[in-house]
Amino acid sequence: MIDFLKRLFKARDKPKDSVSSAPNFYMGQSVSGKVVNERSSMQTTAVFACVRIIAETVASLPLHTYKYTGEGKEKVYDHPLYKLLHDEPNPEMTSFTIRETMLAHLLLWGNAYCQIIRNGRGDVLGLYPLLPDKMTVDRDKKGELYYTYRKEGLTYYLSPDEVLHIPGLGFDGVMGYSPVALAKNAIGLNIAAGSLPITLLPVVFYPPREPLKIPPR
């Protein structure tokens, strides 16, 4: 009886479900006939303005490391991660740049990824952003998460301790849903309206009307 119950109610500490297929379910052609994805949506001024304002605003906020004391907390300037988070996560980017990039990925794809570079002792040496559309998250036979990154025809397998993954709103707590995919019909209509010739706009939005006919008395 106990074995039967174990087979019926599987423990959630060893999940076997896929985690990368659901967020891509909604992407594709919209009701307007326009194909909407994260890159084409940035051609609309509303999407571009929202992503730019949110990403730049959050990236401009101060980022410090703290430690808790008996009376509260205080900044720690000699923490090993302070320079990476506050100043320069890698030789090619500032703290503002990487946070702005990750916020843009999060707002468009619903997930943001960074590769964590470590030395032989496990100390963090750098952070490099990874493109969400080239990343796949799945589980192995033991139910453990692993990350697959495809770039320039090569495939890289990364463990969870090698990836900083920030998911957006989602239903499983692991993967975030793409806001662009969920709003593809509204964005598609905007793209379709913007592709109309300017001479057709009065006809489409203000069609000719027949004069009112007054019935005889």
C-alpha R_g of the chain? 24
Tens digit of each residue's pLDDT (9 = 90 or more) over 138-195? 888 888 899 999 988 899 999 999 999 999 888 878 888 888 888 888 888 877 876 6
Number of other residues whose CB lies within 10 A of the CB of residue 127: 20
Number of other residues whose CB lies within 10 A of the CB of residue 72: 7
Residues 6+ apart with CB under 8 A from 38: 108, 109, 132, 133, 178, 180
Is the four-CA dihedral 61, 177, 108, 205 of positive or negative sign?
negative
Q: How confident is the model at residue 112 (pLDDT cuts 50, 70, 90)?
A: very high
pLDDT attached to residue 28: 59
What phi and psi values does residue 173 have, to the nearest 5 degrees? 80, 0
The predicted model scores a pTM of: 0.76
pLDDT at 133 over 80: yes
C-alpha dihedral (69, 121, 113, 139), degrees to nearest 10? -110
Q: What is the mean pLDDT of residues 126-136?
A: 93
Residue 56 CA to residue 99 CA, distance in Å, equals 8
The answer to whether the beta carbons of residues 145 and 129 sit under 8 Å apart is no
Share of the chain above pLDDT 90, in %: 36
pLDDT at 109 over 60: yes
pLDDT attached to residue 111: 93
The answer to whether the beta carbons of residues 104 and 178 sit under 8 Å apart is no
